């Protein structure tokens, strides 16, 4: 460890997420290592985040385990008043000289969650999956009268063509989920 740096370790649990009241994550078990290094211009805060959060599955809405891992850098310097300059530069009032990193910890965790998060195949809530499939079938069966008329006109004089096999493969994927 360099002479001008300090290392801190945080073990974040459900109570941390409950206290922070962030919308994306309410439960988790995440370890964070923070190395603070003093440079000539600012303090470099290097966050290494590893752990597990429980978030709703996009498909069935039941909680699912989502592993997360990220490395994030935050630069902090002193100034007349608090300001956020850019994505990773924070100015804190010189007379205070302290920064609460709790919200930054939460944001780094939330940003580490992939955009799409779903259970592994076959692990979704069965009742919810069947409702979703039923709803999808109803939506695909419904078409406006105008669409029906257009389709009927197109079909006149045409022989029945076999269904493109690629559609069957896509249907299998939907049925599995």
What is the tens place of the pLDDT at every residue in 86-105? 878 999 988 888 889 999 99
First-to-last C-alpha distance (Å) of the chain: 49
- Please give the pLDDT value at position 60: 86
- Please give the pLDDT value at position 162: 64
CA nearest to 107, candidates 30, 37, 160: 30
Section 8-13 average pLDDT: 97
- Please give the pLDDT value at position 75: 96
Q: Give the model confidence (pLDDT) of 101-120 as tens digits.
A: 999 999 999 999 998 888 88
pLDDT exceeds cutoff 60 at 149: no
- Please give the pLDDT value at position 117: 84
Section 23-44 average pLDDT: 94
109: Cβ contacts below 8 Å, ≥ 6 apart: 12, 25, 28, 30, 49, 51, 53, 68, 70
Facing residues of 52 across strands? Answer: 29, 67
Q: Give the model confidence (pLDDT) of 11-31 as tens digits.
A: 999 999 999 988 889 999 999
pLDDT exceeds cutoff 80 at 150: no
- Please give the pLDDT value at position 2: 58
- Please give the pLDDT value at position 48: 98
pLDDT exceeds cutoff 80 at 45: yes
What is the percentage of the chain residues whose pLDDT exceeds 90?
44
Q: Would the CA dihedral through 92, 27, 125, 113 be positive or negative?
A: positive
Do 108 and 72 contact (CB within 8 A), yes or no?
yes
pLDDT tier for residue 157 given thresholds of 50, 70 and 90: very low
């Amino acid at each position: 460890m360099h002479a001008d740096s300090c290392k801190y370790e945080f073990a974040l649990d459900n109570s941390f997420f409950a206290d922070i009241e962030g919308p994306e994550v309410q439960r988790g078990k995440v370890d964070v290592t923070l190395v603070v290094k003093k440079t000539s211009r600012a303090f470099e805060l290097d966050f290494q985040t590893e752990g597990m959060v429980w978030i709703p599955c996009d498909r069935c809405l039941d909680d699912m385990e989502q592993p997360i891992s990220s490395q994030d850098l935050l630069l902090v310097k002193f100034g007349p008043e608090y300001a956020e300059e850019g994505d990773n530069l924070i100015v804190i009032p010189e007379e205070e000289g302290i920064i609460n990193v709790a919200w930054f910890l939460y944001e780094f965790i939330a940003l580490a969650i992939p955009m799409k998060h779903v259970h592994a195949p076959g692990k979704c809530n069965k009742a919810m999956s069947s409702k979703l499939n039923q709803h999808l079938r109803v939506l695909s069966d419904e078409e406006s009268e105008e669409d029906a008329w257009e389709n009927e006109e197109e079909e006149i004089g045409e022989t029945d063509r076999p269904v493109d096999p690629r559609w069957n493969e896509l249907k299998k994927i939907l049925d599995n989920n």
